[in-house]
Chain A
Amino acid sequence: MRICVCLLWTILLLGATGCIEIIDDLSMNADGSGTFRYTVNLSSSKVKVNSYLSIDSLDGKKVPEKADIIVRIDGIIEELRKQEGITEVTFDGNYTDYLFKLKVDFETVEDLQVAVKNVIKAEYNANKIEELNHNWLSYKGGALVRSVPKMTIYKVSELSSNDIDLLKNGNYLSITRFTSEIRECSNEVASISKNKQAVMLKSDPYSLIRESSLLDITIELADTSDTN
């Protein structure tokens, strides 16, 4: 009977499906400071996430326990709080619906970028990652240049082909907001909000893996005084 229960559990694991939604939201203030919000929504995949977490290993790899993940994330948040130019770091982890929200206030985009790099170095012992020499954010002369760090993509590309389906069904939203109006932006697929103060780029994690420059964008403001 125990074998039957195990079999059933396996069947349950196998049947679960779902997808992932990521929102990366950068709000710039007139003085160059701002707020960065990063939201990962797995609520439509919670059956799948819970099924993963209920097993010891998958595809020959150990599956972390929920407690391990919490410790790991707490470590990252603590490291982020130590960074210069970074304030008001909050993290809201909803482990029932698997909705994770990170909010970080920064003094300059450079501070944000350095902070992210430092956290990566500290947590992953990743001094040798070439991408850390690259800049993903700059804000000068009324123009903001953004891209998605390639190492995120490298990390995702390590996923097995099986996980790729999950990413294909997912959403990646990149939103950049300002306190003044936007004059133009470089990415043709970007859309500007009706109040002309926000730009949104939409993709899916799978397309991003294949073409990391999909979300590269340069946004120019109408009023160049709204810059540092």
Chain B
Amino acid sequence: MASMKRLHIFTLIITALLSASHGIAQQSTDLIPEGAISVVSLNNVYLLQKISLDELVRYDFMEELQQELFDGSTSGKTLKESGIDFDQRINIFQGWNQEYTIAGFSFGIDDQYTLFETFDDYEPIESSYPDVQIFASYFNRIAIKGNAAVLFRVNPDIQVVRDITDSIWFASGNDYPWYEMLIEESGYEKHSFWNDLHSEEPIDPFDTPEHSDFPIAEEDPTQKTYYELLDSIQTSLHGIWLDEMVRELFGEQRNLVRSSPQFASQLNNPSEGIFYFDNTRNIDMQQSMGSMGYLEPSFYQKLRSLYDDNMILGDLTIQDQSVNLELEVRYNEKLGSIYTELTDAKFNTRVLKYIHKDNNAYLTCNLNSEKAYQQAFEVIVPMFSGSEDDFGLLALSWEILDEFVNKKALFSTAPGSAFVTYGGIQQVKTRKIVFELDEETYRYTEKEEEAEENMPVFALGVTTDRSDLAEKVMKRLIGGPSGLIEHEDYWEVPNAIFEAAPLYFLSKNGLFIVTNDQNLVTENADGYGKNALSKKSAKRAMKSSAVYSYINTGATADNLPKGLFSDQENEVIDVMRGKPGTMEITSSETLETSTNFNITYRYEGDDAQATAYVLDLINSLYVITK
């Protein structure tokens, strides 16, 4: 009996220990929803503790959460002071489907009390799962299990909301009487014309301040207006999809770690952060693809098959004075065969002569368009030829065209290497009109005089085996509407750039170059000689397979005028302004199913700056993949 009792106690202790360990074992990565398409997962404890929440929320990747974080409750606080456990990863995720987007971040909890001092707008709500606490603030939720939490929000696609609203509205026998009224009485149409010129958003007849004056749906005052109905549906959908996400995560234990072995494997890498982007699901979830799948199912399926297993995985590492992002781009063999042929090109060193050693930024690329075309032809045409629809006809047209076109001649015009350079800002000569005042009468007369305006200087060149073809075209254009002028060694279109500055064309040494740098075409038509790229830099460019790029980030950012950026964008650019640093992008050999790209951000300054650089990179990834 005693032994039975001891066994029972032992069993209880083991159970308790297992339960406790299960709670502790709950990791923030387990709370990344299955629907996440893009994830940045950071595990660098040291770096993130230092950043203030005020700085953090300026980044685009935090924009979905700004409602909470900009309410003042986080002012002056750092992440460390917000109850977050830095022994666990912080995972920023976003995902989308044809009905809604999700965004949020999952993290470990060190101190739940402190956490809710920061997220003080959140109130506990009922949870269907005994080991999960749920807190709500408007359309945001925080779900906590063990010592991990996920803060997330769901945004229903407005078109989906409108479709449902319209369906109910019209089914109830309503029309749009207010629309006519709006145009007649408020002059909305005229007003909207001016707004339309200034607004990127399409005009939305519902979205006016007068909507409260809209007629009600029926004579019965308890009936909702269109806008009230739309709001109700949006709110309901929010609730449904928030609940759905909670059910998936905690009821069905569905999360990204379980559904994506690639992501799970990536988490094991010993890096400061990882990046995950599932382009296959991204394509599937795009509304335009959904429409195509509905309208042209056969075409969609074939096209879609090219993008199976399409994914970008990245590792972020911080080394001495540098941040490194290694991206592995994965694709299937079909697409890979095209990429492999595209990058099967020998680097043409002629381009290096035209890159000045002091250029702020330059890029070289090395592509075999002829082989890529041939492979694309061999992969794509069989997918569609023989089918009865319009795409079969298109494939047949392509086959016929392929027979008649002189591909050798066509592709020899630009056979391999190309370069782009950015030389910084230079002053160029333009003309302006000035008014001269007569002091006697204050009458003024108009006069044209020379002016100088700042202009970024660039050059773009491609290698060509048929410079004679380019020269023929240029000669034909002389005296035409473009105003092309022939000089001894080059051609010029006087007001080609914004009707103010000249553009030059140079065909020399097997290269065709377009530039606005007069010095290049007049003084350096054969290249920069000893002022061209150093041997070391040239070697690095040649070593990189398809693409190589170098950017002096500090100098480039300093040259970007604030005037053409929004305040928010300037905040991001300001991080680089005045800080010496460089960025280098290299690519590996293209393999059948993957290519690696490496981005290295080297900075001068203390390690504290590394945080800003890491976040800059994360932000860039977020913006690019958004």
In the assembled complex, B439 has its CB within 8 A of some CB on chain A: yes
Asked if A78 is at the interface (CB within 8 A of a chain B CB), the reply is no
The SS class assigned to the A binding surface is mixed
Distance between B158 CB and nearest chain A CB, rounded to angstroms: 17
Asked if A186 CB lies within 8 Å of chain B CBs, one says no
B441–A47 contact, CB under 8 A? no
Residues 50-68 of A contacting B (Cβ, < 8 Å)? 50-51, 54, 56-62, 64, 68
Q: Are A193 and B444 in contact (CB under 8 A)?
A: no
Q: How far is the CA of A33 from the CA of B435 in the complex (A)?
A: 26
Contact indicator A12/B455 (Cβ below 8 Å) = yes
Q: Tell me if B411 is interfacial: C-beta within 8 Å of chain A.
A: no
Q: How far is the CA of A1 from the CA of B617 in the complex (A)?
A: 23
B425-439 toward A: CB 8 Å interface, digit per residue (1/0)?
100001111010101
Instruction: Return chain A residues, CB-CB under 8 Å to B432.
Output: 43-44, 46, 97
CB distance from A132 to the nearest CB of B (A): 15
**Given A4-B420, A46-B498, A61-B199, CB of A14 within 8 Å of CB of B441:** no
Chain A residues lying within 8 Å of B373, measured Cβ to Cβ, are none
Give the tally of cross-chain contacts (CB within 8 A).
Answer: 140
Interface flags for A107-131 (1: CB within 8 Å of B; 0: not) read: 0000000000000000111000000
B198 and A177 contacting across the interface, CB-CB below 8 Å: no
The reply to whether the CB of B456 lies closer than 8 angstroms to some CB of chain A is: yes
Interface segment, one of A139-147, A156-164, A208-216: A156-164
By a CB distance below 8 angstroms, the chain A residues around B451 are 43-44
Q: Number of A residues whose C-beta is below 8 Å from B?
A: 57
* B451 closest partner in A (C-beta): A44
Contact of B563 among A60, A166, A198 (CB under 8 A): A166
Chain B residues within an 8 Å CB radius of A125: 186-187, 190-191
- Quick check: is A133 within 8 A (CB to CB) of the other chain? no
CB pair A162–B433 under 8 Å, yes or no, is: no
> Contacts A21-B435, A62-B198, A175-B442 given: A15-B454 contact, CB under 8 Å?
yes
Contact of A177 among B194, B442, B499 (CB under 8 A): B442
Say yes or no for B57: interface residue by CB 8 A criterion.
no
B191 touches A4 (CB 8 A): no
Do A14 and B456 have beta carbons less than 8 Å apart?
A: yes
**B369 — nearest CB in chain A belongs to which residue?**
A1
Q: Which residues of B contact A48 (CB under 8 A)?
A: 453
Chain A residues near B458: list those with CB within 8 A.
8, 11-12
B422 within 8 A of A: yes
| Residue ID in chain B nearest A95 by CB atoms | B499
Answer whether residue A165 sits at the interface, using C-beta atoms and an 8 A cutoff: yes
The residue in chain A whose Cβ has the minimal distance to the Cβ of B189 is A125
A193 touches B194 (CB 8 A): no
Of chain A, the residue at the smallest CB distance from B190 is: A125
Q: In the bound complex, how far is the Cα of B455 from the Cα of A220, in angstroms? A: 48
Q: Closest chain A residue to B444 by CB distance?
A: A23
Does B560 have its Cβ within 8 Å of any Cβ on chain A?
A: yes
Q: Which B residues touch A8, using CB under 8 A?
A: 420, 422, 458, 460
Indicate whether A35 reaches chain B with its CB closer than 8 angstroms: no
Asked whether A194 lies within 8 Å of B453 as measured between CB atoms, the reply is: no
Q: A16 near B197 (CB under 8 angstroms)?
A: no
Contacts of B501 in A (CB 8 A): 47
Establish whether residues B498 and A41, one from each chain, have CB atoms under 8 Å apart when the complex forms. no
